[in-house]
Amino acid sequence: MTLRSVVLGTGHYLPDRVIENSWFEERLDTTDEWIRARTGIERRHFAAEGQATSDMGIRAARAALDKAGLRPDDIDGIILATSTPDHTFPASATMIQHGLGMTHGFAYDVQAVCAGFVFALANGDAMIRSGMARRVLVIGSETFSRILDWSDRGTCVLFGDGAGAVVLEGQEGAGASEDRGILASDLNSDGQYRDLLYVDGGVSTTGTAGQLRMQGNLVFRHAVEKLAKTAHTALDKAGLTTADVDWLVPHQANARIITATAQKMGLSMDKVVLTVADHGNTSAASIPLALSVADAQGRFRPGDVIVTEAIGGGLSWGSVVLRW
């Protein structure tokens, strides 16, 4: 028998304020047409003034718990993927823990930028399989609107705010690829590329939060090269091939990257969950948001094989394969 981390429920939260591409046309030398054609993004949500990453994480976590039919008391720990925490410390996960009324269990943040949720999911799975926890809330929540340079048209049009969450539970499996739950993961980082995508501030350097800087076309090339590869590696570890894949739930950075990755994997676009048009790039929140939206639409069936993949600052990238 093998312990498997099964997804019991998903949930998400998007702030009320919706920003259409036309909002940028009024402020920058850009067009709705350029943004749609180059990224697939049509609109994004921005957090309200005073609305923190943990506030959105609490809403998404509650929704996931409701879907799973569980209460905060049933959870052993919280892992939050974020690069936009409420404070430098403590971990924003502890704010979420408190907001849920929990005084037990662990709560910590994982920082792998846009790949954060994949890293957090693999982390939650490792804790469950090692017996350190039975049920873990894995959350991605981001307020990237707070670290954007509004004069940089190459970055500020790309990002949005939001949160998504999943509840994982350890269940006995046979140790075979037919098991439900997380079957395999593949995580990678390579700090030689740190200057391609970073924030130009920090506690031990400038003492400020800083603003996002990106060499978009270079990140684009790495994404197209690395995402299909990590998905293949994780599928291989799971004893599966792309022919077994029912759904690709990719990080939602750019529709062109997603299409190129699906093509490389030989998957038709009707197997791909796409939310980038309505959410923009919500960094570590994008995969749990896409999972939760597709789940709420009833698109996943028990037994479906789902592949998630993401790349972000670091560079850091990875993939998780799970059976629904």
List of residues contacting ligand ACO (CB under 6 A): 30, 34-35, 38-39, 113-114, 153-154, 157, 197, 216-217, 219-220, 223, 253-254, 257, 281, 283, 311-313
94 vs 283 by CB, closer to ligand ACO: 283
Q: Which of 114, 123, 232, 279 is catalytic?
A: 114
69 vs 202 by CB, closer to ligand ACO: 202
Q: In this structure, are residues 234 and 320 in contact, taking their beta carbons and an 8 Å threshold?
A: yes
Q: In this structure, are residues 56 and 162 in contact, taking their beta carbons and an 8 Å threshold?
A: yes
State the DSSP code for 144.
G
Q: Least distance to ligand ACO from the beta carbon of 192, Å? A: 16
Rounded to whole angstroms, the Cα distance separating 90 from 139 reads: 16
Q: In this structure, are residues 267 and 242 in contact, taking their beta carbons and an 8 Å threshold?
A: yes
Q: In this structure, are residues 127 and 170 in contact, taking their beta carbons and an 8 Å threshold?
A: no
Q: Least distance to ligand ACO from the beta carbon of 41, Å? A: 9
**Hey, what amino acid is at 70?**
L
15 vs 313 by CB, closer to ligand ACO: 313
240 vs 287 by CB, closer to ligand ACO: 287
Residue 156: active-site member: no
* Residue 26 neighbours by CB distance under 10 Å: 7
Q: In this structure, are residues 143 and 161 in contact, taking their beta carbons and an 8 Å threshold?
A: yes
State the DSSP code for 242.
G
State the DSSP code for 151.
T
Q: Least distance to ligand ACO from the beta carbon of 223, Å? A: 5
**Hey, what amino acid is at 219?**
V
Dihedral Cα 152, 157, 158, 161, nearest 10 deg: 110
Q: Least distance to ligand ACO from the beta carbon of 201, Å? A: 15
Q: In this structure, are residues 253 and 197 in contact, taking their beta carbons and an 8 Å threshold?
A: no
Q: Least distance to ligand ACO from the beta carbon of 313, Å? A: 4
154 vs 201 by CB, closer to ligand ACO: 154
* Residue 125 neighbours by CB distance under 10 Å: 24
Residue 254: active-site member: no
Q: Which of 21, 251, 254, 279 is catalytic?
A: 251
185 vs 254 by CB, closer to ligand ACO: 254
Q: Least distance to ligand ACO from the beta carbon of 112, Å? A: 9
In the three-class reduction of DSSP (H, G, I as helix; E, B as strand; rest coil), residue 266 is classed as coil
* C-alpha neighbours within 13 Å on the C-beta side of residue 223: 28
Residue 281: active-site member: yes
Widest Cα–Cα separation across the chain: 60
Q: Which residues are catalytic?
A: 114, 251, 281
